[in-house]
Amino acid sequence: MNSGKKVQANSTETLKKVLAVIGRYRLLLFFSVVLAAVAAVMQLYVPILFGDAIDLVAGKDAVDFAGIGRILIWILALILAASGMTFIMNLINNRLTYRTVQDIRAKAIRRIQVLPLSYLDAHSTGDIVQRVIADTDQLADGLLLGFSQLFSGVVTILFTLGFMLSKSVEITLLVLVLTPVSFLVARFIATRSYTMFKKQTDTRGKQTALINEIIGNEKVVKAFGCEERVSGRFSKINEELRKYSQSAVFFSSLTNPSTRAVNNVIYAVVALSGAHRILSGALSVGGLTVLLSYANQYMKPFNDISSVITELQNALACAARVFELIEAVPEPRETDHVLTAGEGCVDIRDVSFSYDKSKQLIEHFSFTANAGTKTAIVGPTGCGKTTLINLLMRFYDVDRGEICVDSQNIAGITRHSLRRKYGMVLQETWLREGTVRENVAFGKPDATDEEIIQACKDAHSWSFIRRMPEGLDTVIRDDSLSQGQKQLLCITRIMLCHPPMLILDEATSSIDTRTELKIQDAFDTLMKGRTSFIVAHRLSTIHNADNILVMQNGRVIEQGNHDSLMAQNGFYTSLYNAQFAGLEAG
């Protein structure tokens, strides 16, 4: 299959998917088509009345003014009725379009919720946002124009042919013979414009991703003096977007004048053929007027559709990107088994995993964390600490081996029930735009104010919350709080939920030393009787851990508590001494 056929097939497949979504609103679609048909019939009957009026002008002093007056009244009534129905049809098309786009956007959001993290890691946030927001908006614009032109156009073409046949079979057949030329020209150009629009939307997604990256990290860009380098990257993508956009608009803009040229030839052929039939007495002047009007009406839908070919092709290209997201492979279907309440014993058995299957990360890893114990995970950057946490939470599934919680293989239970048993505080904080209360109660929406305040006190966040203008009802935004305050709120969120197992991934990295000591006391209280995993770079925070796993290159090279590991005088000892050599020297 050559590239042109592939493009046409892709465009057709995308259109079928859009129509499948539209199929949910069959009733609206039915009324739209009926109104389009009735309005088209009324508009197409007007030329016949005009032809009859012309034929009532028989000659000088032989004009039937009364008959012409009655015909003009009918024409006015038909035009007003057709206009009213067209207005109602456009309202229905608006509702049909935006409900369709609403459904597509909802499908995209729902699919994002079930996609594996591997997909989200492989695609930039900006590109995904572009598909859900901007691409669906472009789809809406194209559908709105397409529906309005498509329904009216198809009905107009069919009924025009019927009326033309009633006047002259020969001229109608002549028009039909010449019609495919217009179709072939439009299809030839549309195929190439779709390719350019697809490249345009893909490049626009890259541009959005870059803008999102630059704006979100502008401090880093300025700190390293990379403004010109970043601007150069943007200029390169911007230039690519300009080329593709220009080519897409150029190709699509050829459609309208090309089809109009073909249609003008058809109009001229009808005029010449009709004039010849008038001379032979087979057709009246009024009849020729009707045929010329119908020839123009017949060609108008082709011109109208070709005039919006830019929007239609752009809409299909954008729809293709959205459906790529909607059809992305979700996380493997899981069983209905839930993790039953237990003691919280975690058993990791001969686990191997890697993000890139050509490069091994964690190999043959085994470990058992008994219920209620505190396990710290330490090691150099890239050794697999955070990866192990991702496997415990089933953000990723293991390649080999198994992880069991209370003797239940987590691969055989629902992710939701597993994650409900864990409380997780990450180094990267996330707060929604809303009140302090809404953020703290994110994992427990039915919590009382007393529970929330107690959790705030336990997490040592109450001291700054109570000083806020509205206390718990203060609306916070991304720039409202310091990084340390954000992290305290995230810790408070976990304090409120009291889960049976905890994961702390550098949870106090953005907190000052004095507050960190208070948080450590709070964590010690919280972790009593709970199985806890702590990813730590500051080794001073894990002195009282029951087990310390020292990882390197995806393997546990040392294991024990702080005192036993220091006694071994191995890798852990070197890490510890490297951190505290300066302090001890001081």
288-330: per-residue pLDDT in tens?
777 777 777 776 676 666 656 666 777 888 888 888 888 888 8
In angstroms, the CA 460 to CA 495 distance is: 11
SS (H, E, C) 212-233: HHHHHCHHHHHHCCCHHHHHHH
Strand ranges for 315-414 from DSSP E: 346-353, 362-369, 374-378, 400-405, 408-409
- What structural domains does the chain harbor? 3-326 (1.20.1560.10), 335-421+502-508+532-586 (3.40.50.300)
In angstroms, the CA 291 to CA 298 distance is: 10
Using DSSP's 3-state secondary structure scheme, residue 118 falls into helix
329-364: per-residue pLDDT in tens?
887 777 778 887 667 888 989 888 888 777 778 888
Q: Which DSSP string corresponds to 471-512?
A: GGG-EE-TTTS-HHHHHHHHHHHHHHH--SEEEEESTTTTS-
350-402: per-residue pLDDT in tens?
888 888 777 778 888 888 888 888 898 888 877 778 888 888 888 888 889 99
273-288: per-residue pLDDT in tens?
777 777 777 777 767 7
pLDDT of amino acid 584: 47
pLDDT band at 507 (very low <50, low <70, confident <90, very high): low
Are 510 and 520 in contact, with CB atoms under 8 Å apart?
no
Output the pTM of the full model: 0.64
Contact residues for 103 (Cβ-Cβ < 8 A; gap 6+): 21, 24
Are 107 and 139 in contact, with CB atoms under 8 Å apart?
no
Give the chain's radius of gyration (CA, Å): 35
pLDDT band at 80 (very low <50, low <70, confident <90, very high): very high
In angstroms, the CA 444 to CA 496 distance is: 7
Are 189 and 251 in contact, with CB atoms under 8 Å apart?
yes
What is the greatest pairwise CA distance in the chain?
125
Does residue 408 register a pLDDT over 50?
yes
